[in-house]
Amino acid sequence: MPDRLSRNPSTSPADTPTRRQRADARNNRARLLQAARDAYALDGTDVPSSAIARRAGVGAATLYRHFPTRDSLIAAAFAEQFGQCIATVDEALKDDDPWRGLRTALTKVCRMQAEDRGFSAAFLAEFPDAPEVRRERARAESGLARLIQRAKDTGQLRKDFDSSDITLLLLANNGVLQDSPAASMAASRRLLAYFFQSCRPTDDTPLPEPAPLRLDDLYRAPRRTG
């Protein structure tokens, strides 16, 4: 029961859903999530679970009790940031200027990737297929599609822009991340600037075929080290 995909602690601090949970358990759970976020942000999601447990000051068994599998810990640790990404799209849709909205949304997400390498990896590859996540993702996808169409309609976005280019950008952005968040931010900024430049409708040179990438590919692709 741990972890209906991660009963978000901040959501309902006082709820007693099915049964009583002991205070120390709740506490440990929170510390594990924090430790995981810290460790992942620094070194990526391939740090050993034992390191997370140690960092949180609990035994390995306690970690496993709260998060039966390695992936469930990763998913729970980044659930909040994942939600932020989704929300970013909703917010972008509210912008009067769709192109500005799109840019802002992409900038935010790329920044989140650059700031937290662990999140970037999790965002790209390790999120669970829980139906709720799937639904959110679909919503974000359709929101992006609408945003793209609007930006094209206002003539600010080149007509041969494809929604797969969003995926392309996020993958590329993940690729340029470095060890230090500062270096990652700089690289990400530069990449994004290049990208935005070519998004403008400059008629003379058409782009080649879009890549066969859908947003789903972000989550399915084994992001191998090589």
| 124 counts as binding its own copies under rule CB under 8 A | yes
Q: How far apart are the first and last CA of the chain?
A: 36
Place of tokens 């009583």: 20
Element containing residue 17 per DSSP (H, E): none
187, interface contact from DNA, its own copies, none, CB < 5-8 Å by kind: its own copies
User: Which of 65, 82, 88, 69 has the alpha carbon at shortest distance from 132?
Assistant: 82
Minimal distance, residue 224 CB to its own copies, in Å:
4
DSSP 163: T
Q: Which range in 3-11, 28-36, 79-87, 114-122 contacts its own copies by CB under 8 A?
A: 114-122
CB 153 within 8 A of CB 102: no
Of 33 and 169, CB closest to its own copies: 169
Site residues (CB under 7 A) for DNA? 19-25, 28, 48-50, 57-62, 64-66, 68-70
| Distance in angstroms (rounded) separating the CA atoms of residues 165 and 182 | 25
Please work out the total of residues on this chain that contact its own copies, with binding judged by CB under 8 A. Answer: 52
Q: Phi-psi bin for 5: left (phi > 0), alpha (psi -120 to 50), beta?
A: left
Q: CA torsion sign, 54 to 57 to 59 to 60? A: negative
Residue 43 interaction partner, one of DNA, its own copies, none, beta carbon < 5-8 Å per kind: its own copies
Residues 142-171 that bind its own copies (CB under 8 A): 164-165, 168, 171
Q: How far is CA 91 from CA 86, 172, 178, in A?
A: 9, 24, 29
Smallest gap from residue 104 Cβ to its own copies (A):
16
Tell me whether residue 64 or residue 195 sits nearer to DNA (CB atom). Answer: 64
Give which of 171, 92, 172 is closest to 139, Cα–Cα: 92
Q: Which of residues 182-221 bind its own copies (CB under 8 A)?
A: 183, 186-187, 189-191, 193-195, 197-199, 202, 205, 207-213, 217, 221
Which positions lie near its own copies, rule CB under 8 A?
40, 43-46, 117-118, 120-122, 124-126, 164-165, 168, 171-176, 178-179, 183, 186-187, 189-191, 193-195, 197-199, 202, 205, 207-213, 217, 221-226
